A and B are shown apart, each in its own frame.
Chain A
Amino acid sequence: MKKNKQKPDRELVDRSFLARIEPYLYLLPFFLGIAVFTLYPVVNVVLMSFKEDYSYLTREFSQWGLANYDKVLSDPKFAQAVGNTLKYVLLVVPISTLISVIVANLLNQKLRFSALFQTAYFLPMVTSVTAVGLAWKLMYNKNFGIINYILSFFGIDKIPWLENAAWSIPSLVIFGVWNILPFTIILLLSGLQNIDPQYYTAARVDGSGSLRIFLRITVPLLAPTIFLVCIVNTISCFKVFSELYPLFNGKPGPFYNLYTVVYYIRFAMMENRKYGVAAAAAIVLFGFIFVFTMIQRVVQSWMSARKR
């Protein structure tokens, strides 16, 4: 009698143990991928940044210490890279946000051919940055590029987009903005579609024109999304590299004047073989991005608290 009673109990326990580990089994393959390709490198980079005179091949290093950070932070090239990156962020983020707020509003209207416009605007999203970068390089070409060709109709002389240090920033920024627009527009469009159209009707009945509706109703209601877009774009702009690489034949600008932080990391690693320095620079970049992410979290929780 007792045995009979106990047996199903144990089965129950066994089954529940299996049931308990079953979800982890399903998660395991993905977790292994993450562990090998993300977690291990992350830990390794952190460690590497503290290893002085680290050799990647022999895995030898002289001692633990902050020498790599000291090198990075006192390197004028790194300061230049941070300056360029900040300049890029401060230009691309506001410009792309402004353009995409306007474009998203236009796409949100019931326009004719709106499907065509949507496809056109979202096209950059499905293309490879590097491939498109090569196309832009051709368009920017001083003598044969389509941009200078079109500008010539307005009597504008040939602009050395990629050959001149002063022009290289605008050309990078224009390409960067174009590249970032689709994702930004998608986010803003979904934000716009969450706004109850009754607010627009109510405002129109009250005699508000389109501009007033846009400024007093649309923008305030879209503010949380606009803020999210700014932060997401800031983070991605901090990591600017793949926009830069194809435009200038793999060089950071025509006269090595457009070093960005990621370019600095790559350069330290690939050209100078200073893995510790590269790792330290990566950690510093992580610090920048981390600060912005925190700002985003704080402001967003403050915004949603204010809404309630």
Chain B
Amino acid sequence: MRVVLDHVTKRFADVTAVSEFSATLEDGELVSLLGPSGCGKSTLLNMLSGILPVSGGRIYFDDQDVTGMPPEKRGIGLVFQNYALYPHMTVMGNICFPLETQRVPKAERIERANEIARLVHVDMLMNRKPSELSGGQQQRVAIARALVKNPRLLLLDEPLSNLDARLRLEMREEIRRIQQRTGVTTIFVTHDQEEALSISDRIVLMKAGVLQQNDLPQSLYNEPANQFVADFLGNPPINNLPGTVEDGAFVAADGKARCALPMLAGVENGRNVNLSVRSESFVLDENGPMACEVTRVYQMGKEEMAYLTFGGTDFRAYIDSEEGLRKGDAVRLSLKRRGVFLFDRETGERIR
């Protein structure tokens, strides 16, 4: 099912949690709603589920306007952050419960519950109570309960945040597998960029209730729309070198160090910018434009993480360990084409 958000806004008493949010999510996609805590992503999810009414804008499921529709009529499956499995019911009871309210006959309920339980691999736990399950198993049951009624849209609210690191890896693969098997359009809320990058078809990145970028995972990383997107994605975080532009050259914050870059051609003089470079986009190059000094070097196996300074600003770069850099070395670097961006320092907007 295609989901269209048209200028969706949510205002609470004195804060605007989601502001003029417009996006289209295609049928069968797994979309991550990504953003830091408090950016309004859960609010947006609750508006999609119908738990929270919108303050403005419209929501369409395919061509149907569902803006004012109560949650139970929307045909959604919802997985809560802490699963919200009914503690007094068995796994079977939990999975059957949504069908019970749809007045599905008992035999069919049990059959469908067993079928979905096999899909999420909890079929051998049907008689257990939620308290007798591990976190990962509870998660699977919660997904089964959300999927058993064949929802048009599956909503997952930070589904992995209550799991330990290893289970988190396992469950995110599982969510991907289950989503691909069922083909249900899925929206997945997370604040973890790695989670979002690894399993989504598309990432919607939010900040303070405002859509930043709605794109493919690799595009978000390779072509960030603004400074926030560039900062939010990537580990280690992107290096931001503050400076100004002078005659097609970047002048660092200290006003002395400068380097000529082809990408600066056409940028007006005196503009305050950040030269933002991913750590993997530096290359040691005797004829490179950037003259830097090495301040620290860490061994990281095949590569070394070098801490360098350029014009008074420290930054990190991955360097091939065969180069044998040492603290205090003066080196020259050039920049790759990928992973190098220029942002306006005041507005954060990308300068192309």
Residues of A bordering B, CB below 8 Å = 196, 198-199, 201-209, 212, 216-217, 220-221, 223, 307-308
Contact = CB atoms under 8 A, between A and B. Distances in A.
A14 to B, nearest CB: 51
Contacts of B289: none
Given A207-B72, A207-B102, A216-B97, A202 B88 contact: no
Interface residues of B, number: 23
B278 interface: no
B9 interface: no
Interface in B60-76: 71-72, 76
26 contacts: A196-B84, A198-B80, A198-B84, A199-B84, A202-B80, A203-B86, A203-B101, A205-B49, A205-B76, A206-B72, A206-B101, A206-B145, A206-B149, A207-B72, A207-B98, A207-B101, A208-B72, A208-B101, A209-B101, A212-B101, A216-B97, A221-B87, A223-B88, A307-B129, A307-B131, A308-B132
A205 to B, nearest CB: 5
Contacts of A221: 87-88
Nearest to B70: A204
A244 to B, nearest CB: 39
A204 B86 contact: no
A201 B86 contact: no
Given A198-B82, A207-B101, A212-B101, A307 B71 contact: no
Contacts of A205: 49-51, 71-72, 76, 78
Interface of B: 49-51, 71-72, 76, 78, 80, 82, 84, 86-88, 97-98, 100-102, 129, 131-132, 145, 149
Nearest to B101: A207
B67 to A, nearest CB: 17
Nearest 3 CB-CB pairings of A with B? A207-B72, A206-B98, A198-B84
A202 B149 contact: no
A207 B76 CA distance: 10
B88 to A, nearest CB: 4
A212 B101 CA distance: 8
A198 B82 CA distance: 9
Contacts of B84: 196, 198-199, 201-202
A206 B131 CA distance: 21
Contacts of A223: 88
Chain A at the B interface: SS class: helix
Nearest to A220: B88
A201 B82 CA distance: 13
A202 B78 contact: yes
A17 B12 CA distance: 62
A199 B97 CA distance: 12
Max count, chain B CB within 10 A of own CB: residue among A205, A208, A216:
A205
A77 to B, nearest CB: 46
A132 B145 CA distance: 52
A204 B49 CA distance: 11
Contacts of B49: 205
Nearest to A207: B72
B97 A206 contact: yes
A261 B192 CA distance: 67
Contacts of B76: 205
Given A198-B82, A307-B131, A203 B97 contact: yes
Contacts of B101: 203, 206-209, 212
Contacts of A212: 101
Nearest to A198: B84
Contacts of A208: 72, 97, 101
Contacts of B102: 207
A308 to B, nearest CB: 6
A207 to B, nearest CB: 4
A274 B172 CA distance: 78
B274 to A, nearest CB: 42
Contacts of A198: 80, 82, 84
Contacts of B72: 204-208
Contacts of A217: 86
A203 B71 CA distance: 10
A151 to B, nearest CB: 42
A196 B71 CA distance: 19
A61 to B, nearest CB: 56
A202 B76 CA distance: 11
B87 A307 contact: yes
Nearest to B142: A202
Contacts of A308: 131-132
Contacts of B82: 196, 198
Contacts of B129: 307
A186 B129 CA distance: 29
A216 B94 CA distance: 11
A212 B86 CA distance: 14
A205 B157 CA distance: 14
A220 B37 CA distance: 35
Nearest to B75: A207
B97 A201 contact: no
Contacts of A216: 97, 100
Contacts of B100: 216
A307 B50 CA distance: 32
B154 to A, nearest CB: 12
Nearest to A209: B101
B318 to A, nearest CB: 44
Nearest to A306: B129
A220 B86 CA distance: 10
B83 to A, nearest CB: 9
A303 to B, nearest CB: 10
A260 to B, nearest CB: 37
A216 B84 CA distance: 14
Given A205-B76, A223-B88, 17 more contacts: A198-B84, A199-B84, A199-B86, A201-B51, A201-B84, A202-B80, A202-B86, A205-B78, A206-B98, A206-B149, A212-B101, A216-B97, A220-B88, A221-B87, A307-B129, A307-B131, A308-B131
